[in-house]
Amino acid sequence: MKHSHLLKQVISVLALCCMLLCQSIVVNAVSQTPLHLELENYQEVRSSLNGQLTGHHLTVWKLEKPYTIDQQKEIVQELRAWDETKLNQEFVASKHDMVFFENHIEVAAIPNGLYYVRDIIKTPTVEYRGDIVFELTDGEVTPHKIFVKKANPTSTIVKLLKTDEHKKPLAKVGFRLARMEDNQEEIGMPLIGSDGTYRYDETVSTDDKVLYTDDNGEITVTNLPYGTYRFIEVEPLEGYQIEQPYYEFHLTGPQLVTVVVVNKKTPYGDMQFAKVDSKTNKALANAVFRVTKKVDDKFIPVLQDGKELVLTSSETGRFEAKNLPFGTYYIWEINAPSGYIQLTEPISFIINEEGANEKFTKTVVVRNTKRPSIEVPNTGDITLYLLMFLSAVLFGGGFYLVRKP
C-alpha cells in the first residue's frame, strides 16, 4: 500500500516536470524566429555610433485584434500620427536588445505576434525611423528581415498649447503650420492626423491643412525636419482676440518644443438709451431701432445669435444694447412712436471700458418731435361775413327761380 502511494507521488512529480519542460519548449518555440534589421548605409551607422554598439534597444508595440498583417498599410497610416503616450495607452510596449553584426542588427526574444515599430536607432547624430508593421510566426524558419532607410533629422515633438488669460484650455481653435524659407516665404507642410495629433509625412500632398486644438487645448506635431516654423492662427474662437499674427519656433535637433498661445476674450460692454418727447421729456414707448457698425463708409447691421440686433423702447422709454464688443456703433430709427416724426439720421454711441463696468450709469437720450396736428387756417372776420353774404344771395336766387311761374 505504501509502495503504491509512493509510486503515485513519483508519477505526479514526473508529470509536472514534463509539463514545465513542454511549456518551456513551447515558449522557446514561439520566440526563436530572430528579427534582422538591415539599415541603409549600415557601415555609416556603425561609424556614427563611435563604437557604442551596446545598450541599444528596439521598442515594439504588440497589436491585437482586429488588427491583421493584411491591413499593414492602413495600420501604418493610422499609427504614424500617434505620439508614444497614445501608443502606450492603446498597446503593450516591450524593449528588446539589439546586437550589431557585421552587416545587420539582430533582435531576438520577441514572442510571436503582430507588432508596430517606429524608431530603429535614434541618437543626436543618427536617426533611422521605421513606422513598420511586421509579424513573427512559428512557420518561419529563416530570420525575418526588415530593410530601413535613413530618416531625415526630426524633432522629437512639437506641442502648441492654446489657453485664455486664465490658463483655461481652448478647444477647436484652428492653426496652419508653415515652414519658413530663407526669403521668408511660408511653405505649407504635408501633415496627416486629426483631433489635435498630427505627423509630418513627405509622401502626402503639401497643402494648407488646418490643425485644430483638442479638448486639452493642444496640438501635437511629430516628425518635423529641422528648420524654422510658424503656427498661424486662422480660426479663432468667437469672442476671443488674436493677439499676434503668428508664433515662430526653431528645430535644431531632437527635442521637445512647446509653443504657448494665449488669447484674451474680446471685451464687451453695454449702452443704455432713453426715448423721450423733445419738449416735455415724456417717455415714449414702441420706438424701434436697428443697431449698425460702419465698415468702409457703409452701415452694416450688427448680428447677435445670427439675427440683426433690433431694439424697442419700453413703456418707460428705456432700451439697452448689451454684450457688444468695444467699438463705435450707430442706431437707426426704423419705426417712430405714434404721433412723432421719425428720425432720419443715425445716432452714434461708443462701447468701451465704461460700458463694461457693472456700475455704469451713462444713458444716451433720444428725442423725437411731435407731429403737428392739421388746423383750419384763420382768415379773419371779414372773409367770414363775405362768405355768409354770398351764401344768402345764392340761396335767395335759387329760391326765386324755383318759385317763378
- Residue-level pLDDT at 28: 39
Assess whether pLDDT exceeds 80 at residue 327.
yes
Residue 6 has pLDDT above 70, yes or no: no
User: What would the pLDDT profile of 8-35 be if each residue is shown by its tens digit?
Assistant: 554 554 554 455 444 433 333 444 578 8
Q: Say what the pLDDT of residue 330 is.
A: 97
DSSP 8-state code for residue 78: H
Pairing type for strands 218-222 and 227-235 reads unpaired
Q: Are strands 218-222 and 157-164 parallel, antiparallel or unpaired?
A: antiparallel
Average pLDDT for the chain: 82
Q: What is the mean pLDDT of residues 236-241?
A: 83
Lowest mean pLDDT among 74-83, 308-317, 394-403: 394-403
Which pLDDT score is estimated for 387? 64
Q: What digits encode the pLDDT tens for the residues 355-377?
A: 666 556 678 999 999 988 765 45
Asked if residues 335 and 286 have their Cβ atoms less than 8 Å apart, the reply is: yes
At residue 161, does pLDDT exceed 90? yes
Angle, alpha carbons 250-121-50 (nearest 5°): 95
Could you tell me what percent of the chain has a pLDDT over 90?
40
Neighbours of 284 (CB within 10 A): 24
Q: Which helix (H) or strand (E) holds 309?
A: none
CATH class as words, domain 157-265:
mainly beta
The class level of CATH for 268-368 reads mainly beta
Residue 185: pLDDT over 80: yes
Within 8 A by CB and 6+ apart from 82, the residues are: 90, 197, 199
Give yes or no on whether 157-265 and 268-368 have one common fold.
yes
Closest CA to 148 of 95, 104, 190: 104
Question: Rounded to whole angstroms, how far apart are CA atoms 75 and 65?
Answer: 12
pLDDT at 283: 96
- If one compares 148 and 259, the residue with the highest pLDDT of the two is 259
pLDDT in tens, 92-122: 999 999 999 988 999 988 899 999 998 888 7
Over 80: is that where the pLDDT of 71 sits? yes
- For the chain, the domains span 29-148, 157-265, 268-368
Average the pLDDT over 279-297 and give the result. 94
Question: What is the Cα–Cα distance from 385 to 393, expressed in whole angstroms?
Answer: 12
Q: Does pTM top 0.75 for this prediction?
A: no
Mean pLDDT of 179-195: 87
Identify the pLDDT of residue 175: 95
The residue type found at 279 is: K
Interval 276-283 mean pLDDT: 94
Q: Is 169 exposed, middle or buried (0-12, 13-18, 19+ CB in 10 A)?
A: middle
Q: Which fold has domain 29-148?
A: Immunoglobulin-like (2.60.40)
